[in-house]
Structure 1
Amino acid sequence: MIINGDLVTRKSYQHDLMFRVQSVQGSNVKLMGETVRLEADAPFEDLEKVSGVEYERRKKQVDEQEAYSYRLFRQDYRLLKEKRDAEAGSGYTTKKEMNYFQIPPRILHIDGDPLFLKKCIALYEQLGLQVHGQYLHEKEMPEKVMSLIEKVQPEIVVLTGHDSYSKAKGTTRDLEAYRHSRYFVESVRKIRSKYPNFDQLVIFAGACQSHFESLIKAGANFASSPARVNIHAIDPVYVAARVAYTSFMDHINIWEVIRNTISGEAGLGGVETRGLLRIGIPYSTEPEELS
């Protein structure tokens, strides 16, 4: 018996991915990717429950992937920090005298999966970034995204959740052949109608197998999925973090952004964009006066 919350794999896909059972409707089961941002449907007879041993084996693989991606980001962060230190300290005679503060951008992360959102928020915090997270079903995003932006006033907006492409509904060029791409596209268009400057409000949009070209055309700086592949749950965080920790004086190397992600260039792409981090000097160590 398969019920909501069970972990399963699909026999017809050689058990390639692990899914959570989202709902059961008659003989049809709605599935959400456990580690990738893919939404799918499958009949009961195509599903097989994941055993405890198999779950631990798959979890170990995912943990290793995430740890490697995190190490890559930390390496790049150190390089970015060394560059900031050099630029901020150019007017000082000794390194000891050098002291600066930094103003990172505000991030609004809107996610169609509450569990993935929680995981992403934890990673933002681990990376030292402040974020406002909001769960919205993908269909709600076009209607509610602007009110959230007006409330949070972010410099980076992440629109993600679940998506999928169905060959039965059309070719890869047909937007209607995708489960949720049209909602991401409409949301991006609404944002760009009010915030047209790509370097003042940076947008990441998309999920697994999303219509990359439509998202970029609508005005996203970064999007998924060029090769219509699945993307990992935390990949959007690394894209946002790279933008957040790159100086506004510098252009972002798109390849360096993508190399930190688990999905790589098949899953993510983008256009030339400036960073959003600003630094200032000097850093005051004096306590603030009470008013």
Structure 2
Amino acid sequence: MKVGDLVVRKSYGGDITFRIEGLYDHISLLKGTDYRLVADAPTSDLVNVPETTMKRRKQQAQIKMIESVEALEQHRQRQSERRQTEFQFANAPNQAAHFEMPGKVLHLDGDPNYLQKSMTLYNQLRVPAEGHYVSEAKMSEAVYTLLPRSRPDIIVITGHDGVLKGLKHRDLYSLQSYKNSQNFVNAVKTARQYERNLDMLTVIAGACQSHFEALLQNGANFASSPGRIMIHALDPAYVAAKAAYTSIRDTIHIADIAPHTITGTEGLGGIETRGSHRLGMPKWKDLSTLNVTPSVT
């Protein structure tokens, strides 16, 4: 075994694929390739993933993500057509076609690789997004600094989390039983100090096995993980994209989101929240084609 190898854990039935991030005596530090999980395991418990198995798992995840992206694209198209029809019913002139303003996302991630994957998804869906790699312990400080500067409609606060092993008395109600849930809660509190209105700033928070209830109780609109399961790296970004392209007239329902995430309602849940997508008119003009007479000396 060496750093960079793709492996699974025999004791867990090979359920999650990891990349070895570090080797310390007989212990390996592991990071999930597709799930937001950092773990350690005896090196003797690890098995290299056959290339064929890795390809199959990647293809399965890719198929699901493509289906999710297509569902978002269809949702956006239906919404655009519906709003265009409303303009026509309002006797809006044809030349006054509308323009779209999807919600802006500020994405803070405790993992640089997952951040890059999320930014690629936003770019693919044409969601305006700003991303920052921030360690979980510094999330609250980063939220305090970046929110006034970025002024987003949606903020994603994610990274790595998990229920701690080896606790003598594990209490899933206690934040002390989780690796980073307290850090995420602190960041959510800071976000709500900036904007208390749940519909003016949509907060999406948490990672694998995070304290779902505590995140919601402290101001998150959507959070992980109701079933204390591992969530896919892109699930928070998908929820953010859905919020960005749901009309401010409509409510985002978790029941509409869950079928298009990898982990469903066991991985992500939340409260009904208004979308952040707006339409305006008239459509922006190509300024290079306008014949404008200057009026100011």
The answer to whether the superposition gives a TM-score over 0.5 is yes
The 5-angstrom pairing of residues 248-287 of structure 1 reads 248-287=248-287
Q: For residues 26 and 148 of structure 1, what CA distance do their matches in structure 2 show?
A: 40
Give 1:90 shift.
2.3
Do 2:245 and 2:275's aligned partners in 1 also have CA atoms closer than 8 Å? yes
Q: For residues 28 and 86 of structure 2, what CA distance do their matches in structure 1 show?
A: 56
Give 1:161 shift.
1.0
Question: What residue is the counterpart of 2:206 in the other structure?
Answer: 206
Q: For residues 260 and 81 of structure 1, what CA distance do their matches in structure 2 show?
A: 20
TM-score, L = length of structure 1: 0.93
Q: For residues 204 and 243 of structure 2, what CA distance do their matches in structure 1 show?
A: 10
Matched-pair identity in %: 41
Could you list the per-position Cα deviations for residues 254-284 of structure 1 after superposition, in whole angstroms to 9, with x for gaps in the alignment?
2112222111111111112111111111114
The 5-angstrom pairing of residues 64-213 of structure 1 reads 64-92=63-91, 97=95, 99-166=97-164, 168-169=166-167, 170-213=170-213
Q: 1:151 to 1:25 in 2, by over 3 A?
A: farther
Give 1:93 shift.
7.0
For these two proteins, the number of residue pairs brought into alignment is: 289
Do 1:146 and 1:191's aligned partners in 2 also have CA atoms closer than 8 Å? yes
Q: 1:51 to 1:151 in 2, by over 3 A?
A: same
TM-score, L = length of structure 2: 0.91
Question: What residue is the counterpart of 1:23 in the other structure?
Answer: 22
Could you list the per-position Cα deviations for residues 171-230 of structure 1 after superposition, in whole angstroms to 9, with x for gaps in the alignment?
221211111111111110111122111111111001111110000011000000101111
Report the aligned-residue RMSD: 1.9
Q: Which runs of 5+ in 2 are unaligned?
A: none
Equivalent residue of 2:251, what SS? coil
Could you list the per-position Cα deviations for residues 44-103 of structure 1 after superposition, in whole angstroms to 9, with x for gaps in the alignment?
111111222222122222212212222222232222222222223322378x55610122
Question: What residue is the counterpart of 1:225 in the other structure?
Answer: 225
Letter in 1 for 2:160: H
Letter in 1 for 2:247: S
The 5-angstrom pairing of residues 232-243 of structure 1 reads 232-243=232-243
Do 2:95 and 2:282's aligned partners in 1 also have CA atoms closer than 8 Å? no
Give 1:128 shift.
0.8
Q: For residues 283 and 64 of structure 2, what CA distance do their matches in structure 1 show?
A: 37
Equivalent residue of 1:58, what SS? helix
Name segments (4+ residues, structure 1) moved above 3 Å.
Answer: 288-291
Equivalent residue of 2:252, what SS? coil
